[in-house]
Amino acid sequence: MNKNQGNRILGAILIPEKEIERYHNELGFFKIKFSKETIKEYKDTFDKKLNIPLTKSHSEESFKSFELSNSFLISENNKSSITEHYKNYPIGTWLVEYTFNDEEEFLNLLSSDLIGFSIELEYSITDENGKTFHLKDNFERMNKLSELLSINIFIRGGSTGGAGRNEHGEAHFEIHKKNSLKNIGKIFMPKLSHWNELNFKEKLSLLTIENGEDLPKREKKAFVKWLEKNENENLKRCHNEWNRINKDNNQAVLI
């Protein structure tokens, strides 16, 4: 992601043969990659469409004042003239540039945790049993943990004085039955330093409901993958949310 002058921002959407993680109800998490030729087809289709929203990550909120100012593929002819940040990207990488007409909204984007652009795609994949799935990305579903599991997961908090819930102890996720108020236990929130020391199997073991029925292994895998996504981005968000809502609670241990 390159933040240019003049309220412009340039970023890569697709990189040839680079694996991207996706999610599907039957398949769980899987990885997919696209050739230069396929990326060009997606770009050509994208360029013909108008008013495609630019949406903030993990949110349905869209930016309002932007316009697509450039959409191009890196080629031998233009590689020497593009910004230094992208000179080492492979031929066929799809870059887009957006220009913002509203200074405040542009500054809001710069201060966000934006690390790149993504696009919802339609494609087909064949699983190991030869079954073909015709898929369409849904980033809202991929980014909401409760949509991936048969339980609902919450981060609760409050103040010592009684404003809000008085959580206590170490940081944790509160686990409810799906679409129910019934609390079935909690899963302790791992510290980032400890999490990074664990292998995948150890992470699965760590995500166990305390004094409750354990999650199916497939759902644990989805939970781990969600926390790990984009260099543990979601785990860090959970830490920040726990600390934010429990900052005035001396019975809770901040993480």
Q: Helix (H, G, I), strand (E, B), or coil: what is residue 201?
A: helix
Partners of 186 in the beta sheet?
A: 174
Helix (H) or strand (E) holding 218: helix 217-245
Cα angle 22, 196, 215 (rounded to 5 degrees) comes to 60
pLDDT on residue 252: 62
Give the separation between CA 252 and CA 160, rounded to whole angstroms: 9
pLDDT at 166: 53
What confidence score (pLDDT) does residue 163 get? Answer: 46
Quote the pLDDT of residue 135: 81
First to last CA, the chain: 29
| Structure tokens given for 141 | 């579903």
pTM above the 0.75 mark? no
Over the chain (255 residues), what is each successive 10-residue block's mean pLDDT?
70 90 69 92 87 58 78 93 90 92 81 70 83 74 65 71 57 82 86 93 90 81 85 87 79 64
53's tokens: 């929203």
